[in-house]
Structure 1
């Protein structure tokens, strides 16, 4: 049985919250953990508050069980108003990590508990890991590490300490890296720039989704922006205080952008991303997906302002029914200002309430399709187009009658040069196949031998190369909510997610002769089966386009130029452990294998990257 706790969590960093006239923290209730102890510690998350000055652990915050049945537990804080107090930092970081986990695991998203990408059950969270302008997830240490750094004040005589753990968007971003590593562990060793950039884009979008859950922030922004989020950086800006302290105009990255892989008519030349650096490249994908969310919010707001229910091609009636709003708000006419008059405050508040409801529906739909798309992604070297196809398939499964947002995603991917034509995103869904006619799905899910035998007998169906050995991942059988427009509009559907991967040796055509002529990369297939009908919900295989191979050449070239790629013992320090600033490579039988490329995915990329695709 889950423990119910109520704890404070930072809404935004102190600077951003102050500029928006908001309190720095809000109290949230969390119910995802089976036990909570001093620290804070739970079965899945443990805060280790390191004192970098002496290397010792600070005393952890004390848990206070509820006094009465039905009340939530909490933590004793000596001075809740002191934002840099160790116990306040410990508890707020713990809460932000759990809040992000819950967002992934909700029954209308993944519908299951996430697994970590490392051996062991606990993610270690170090809120004050030392003095450095950075934050990152690291699989090897099973940890999230948040640093602090000093920044001079305007008078030039004093310094303030900037804590990366004071920013909910940074915490959500790094937690998303850890979750994504559990869902798609092959990405941690990916050589494809788009695969690494996908890690960054999903983490940034998770930070935005976490911000949309802050009620005070949503109310403040919708009031200030007349019910719109189309021009607000409160949700789209990543690392505001952090970015400014490092000399950026306002933030590290912004999801509200026009970044593209090809020139857009009327667009700015600086919006064309020619680099393969994952952080910069991620803005193209994140911007494309975020624009779909904005468009869905505006469309829902317009629909719900004029009538009680949005059109079913946009969302299913049950999606809207999950959010409560009064009939008066739902039926509110357009504001009088559209007719040349000043709107009454009552109409303004009604409009904002409708906008809040539209935003809740839009973000829920967006979260559901994005996170389920991660489950559908194939293993190995994947591309932005792969994620697009996975999201479209997951969205169709969850919202079969509401296809407008899927059309918008296709349009946006074409507009930004991710694909050249919508047909590149088209996938076959919901069909019968002879391979599934007699298979026992329960045995397939539970037995590794049965899973291997199935894959070996159906290599062609699963697109496994002939004669190639393969790896079967643990199967997932998950119940997920589906929203349709008919009589059984909202129902639970059981899916079996079957993933198989294999290694391929491809030519390493990076000039210089320092490395072997071949390198090893991973590809794979995801098969999603409807357990009730035995139909194929979707079958997706990772991108083998020649352009992705040229981009991997560019990545290897840049790693060599920056002296980041170290082979064998050169990647180890004097203590025999891997160097934090190096990407490790192994050579065997004339083939290069690169591991841990995700080490580049720190919050800040400190090196320039101008590598090309070929």
Structure 2
């Protein structure tokens, strides 16, 4: 039987913790794995700590089983305060990875154990993979790899920076692995927004992990008067890393931004993103979504300052009830009347309620984002595709609480992701004759039945005529849904995720590139079905707008200019194996297929760092 474990996890990286006068470690209790062994090793995550000199595997941290039933297991650490000790590094990384997985898997998020995109059940985690200022997830090696590098201090001394000591970096890279399992086509996507989507979700996951760190939340809310917008503690990605590399702002990226795809009235020209580079482009999407999170937090502070429950149009009563704070964090009773108190008393009441508001807001934001990933269609997707998927998932789970959906639409228009809010509209919760009489168990279990269903209903699923298609294994998930207006109840709904994808050949319009005249890209449809009623939760097909084709032209051009795209034998090393730092192009019958564009998703852009930048 699985047991819980209690492990230390770094609050932030050592520099950020010191600057904010935070404790360096937080001991957290995590839901038990089926088995936990020395290493640490579990059936899903295995830490492989390598000796920097010999390259051999270091001895793993020793697991200590619980003494009594109901108690958590733990690991024997010689000195928990010594952050560079091998056993502390091994256990803290293991804990941070599992904590991130737990966030995705909770019953009010994905509601299931995550699956990897590679064969096998175990993600390998290498906390000290070598000398390099980077970290990355790699499907081919089934691993997360964290590197370290030397940094010269102003006094002339050197210090070693471990990327595995930044909890936002660990959460970021773990999110790449999780998202690869949910939407594996993104690993080979050629659309810039599809690749940047990966980066944005990983950055937002880092912020969500920080919102769960109680010492950090207490300190920031106390120092910032209950605001999360005035501190980079949650929004800044890679603070120690960015400072060491000399980034102007002292971090790699900031989710609290005004990045946009087209100029904003009164905005700064430098906020307009024209690059197809994934890290730069991702800030438009992450900034838009993080802006919704900030707005929700501020609105909930207003609500909770006056009454125990927020208005139903903002959050369902059951959402608030789910997040009772521990006694030491419980706020004082709310005010009775806003009109009869001073501004000072009002702001103090809002500050007292900021912790409760943050717990509810972060949970709602996590739920909508991660469930939106489930609804994301296969293949070449856009930011707008994710927006539609989030809106559909949130509408299904919170039909009476739609203010955040309005804010999301406004942000996507304001930042130029879509021109009009109507582009984000999607039909949800409807009946369709294609599902009349369908045996759901057979549809889920039988590949033949699934193929026959898709072939019979090509028009409904938007599969082009005459093309072959691929049916992904059907996924039946049980998710927590929130009750109707005024209700405290929650419901568990079983739904089937039916995903079909197909290949399309499109012309390559880059004269003189030396590439084939045609390239192959993938599109697809996600159909979410209520298993009990056979009603359609949502039907979403990946974006095939002409502007997306132009974006892919731009991506190919950029890959060629950066010497990242290698075709045929040029993509292989002396040992005949694919080079890790390049994107591979395969040519068959005069058609180009691009493989592994996710190799660009290192923590920091490889080419800029190689040229001495960040």
Q: TM-score range by the shorter chain?
A: over 0.9
Deviation at 1:258, TM superposition (A): 0.4
Q: Tell whether 2:280 aligns with 1:263.
A: no
| Distance (whole Å) between structure 2 residues aligned to residue 279 and residue 115 of structure 1 | 25
| Distance (whole Å) between structure 1 residues aligned to residue 331 and residue 367 of structure 2 | 29
- Counterpart position of 2:612: none
- Counterpart position of 1:100: 100
- Counterpart position of 1:172: 171
Deviation at 1:332, TM superposition (A): 3.1
Distance 1:490 1:357, change over 3 A: same
- Higher mean C-alpha displacement, 360-369 vs 330-339: 330-339
For structure 1, list consecutive stretches of 5 or more residues without a partner in the other structure. Answer: 610-614
> Is the CA contact (8 Å cut-off) linking 1:32 and 1:98 kept in structure 2?
no
> Is the CA contact (8 Å cut-off) linking 1:389 and 1:425 kept in structure 2?
yes
Q: Alpha-carbon deviations, 1:409-462, whole Å to 9, x = none?
A: 000000000000000000011111000011001110111111111101101100
- Counterpart position of 1:612: none
Deviation at 1:474, TM superposition (A): 0.7
| Distance (whole Å) between structure 1 residues aligned to residue 16 and residue 339 of structure 2 | 33
| Distance (whole Å) between structure 1 residues aligned to residue 308 and residue 608 of structure 2 | 51
**Match for 1:329 among 306, 328, 332?**
332
Q: Counterparts of 1:98-177 in structure 2 under 5 Å? A: 98-156=98-156, 158-177=157-176
Q: Alpha-carbon deviations, 1:242-281, whole Å to 9, x = none?
A: 0010011210000000000011111111111011110000
Q: Secondary structure at the match of 2:297?
A: helix
Q: Alpha-carbon deviations, 1:140-161, whole Å to 9, x = none?
A: 00000000000011112x1000
Distance 1:488 1:67, change over 3 A: closer
Deviation at 1:69, TM superposition (A): 1.5
- Counterpart position of 1:480: 479
> Is the CA contact (8 Å cut-off) linking 2:368 and 2:393 kept in structure 1?
yes
Q: Counterparts of 1:11-160 in structure 2 under 5 Å? A: 11-156=11-156, 158-160=157-159
Deviation at 1:351, TM superposition (A): 4.5
For structure 2, list consecutive stretches of 5 or more residues without a partner in the other structure. Answer: 610-614
Q: Secondary structure at the match of 2:234?
A: helix
Q: Alpha-carbon deviations, 1:389-421, whole Å to 9, x = none?
A: 000000000100001000000000000000000
- Counterpart position of 1:593: 593
Report the aligned-residue RMSD. 1.7
Q: Tell whether 2:439 aligns with 1:440.
A: yes
Q: Counterparts of 1:388-427 in structure 2 under 5 Å? A: 388-427=387-426
Q: Secondary structure at the match of 1:604?
A: coil
Q: Alpha-carbon deviations, 1:72-106, whole Å to 9, x = none?
A: 11000111111000100000000000000000000
Q: Alpha-carbon deviations, 1:466-498, whole Å to 9, x = none?
A: 111000001111111111334474111111100
- Higher mean C-alpha displacement, 481-490 vs 567-576: 481-490
> Is the CA contact (8 Å cut-off) linking 1:329 and 1:351 kept in structure 2?
no
Distance 1:399 1:577, change over 3 A: same
Distance 1:548 1:298, change over 3 A: same
| Distance (whole Å) between structure 1 residues aligned to residue 387 and residue 173 of structure 2 | 22
Q: Tell whether 2:496 aligns with 1:496.
A: yes
Distance 1:211 1:340, change over 3 A: closer
Distance 1:351 1:404, change over 3 A: closer
Deviation at 1:334, TM superposition (A): 7.9
> Is the CA contact (8 Å cut-off) linking 1:193 and 1:555 kept in structure 2?
yes
Aligned length, in residue pairs: 604
Q: Secondary structure at the match of 1:50?
A: coil
- Higher mean C-alpha displacement, 472-481 vs 381-390: 472-481
Deviation at 1:14, TM superposition (A): 0.4
- Counterpart position of 2:181: 182
Deviation at 1:2, TM superposition (A): 2.5
| Distance (whole Å) between structure 1 residues aligned to residue 343 and residue 315 of structure 2 | 32
| Distance (whole Å) between structure 2 residues aligned to residue 605 and residue 232 of structure 1 | 25
| Distance (whole Å) between structure 1 residues aligned to residue 367 and residue 352 of structure 2 | 23
- Counterpart position of 1:276: 276
- Counterpart position of 1:313: 313
> Is the CA contact (8 Å cut-off) linking 1:567 and 1:584 kept in structure 2?
yes
Distance 1:5 1:513, change over 3 A: closer
| Distance (whole Å) between structure 2 residues aligned to residue 71 and residue 192 of structure 1 | 49
Q: Tell whether 2:454 aligns with 1:451.
A: no
Distance 1:493 1:139, change over 3 A: same
Distance 1:605 1:436, change over 3 A: same
> Is the CA contact (8 Å cut-off) linking 1:502 and 1:524 kept in structure 2?
yes
When normalised by structure 2's length, the TM-score is 0.96
| Distance (whole Å) between structure 2 residues aligned to residue 429 and residue 91 of structure 1 | 44
| Distance (whole Å) between structure 1 residues aligned to residue 323 and residue 585 of structure 2 | 51
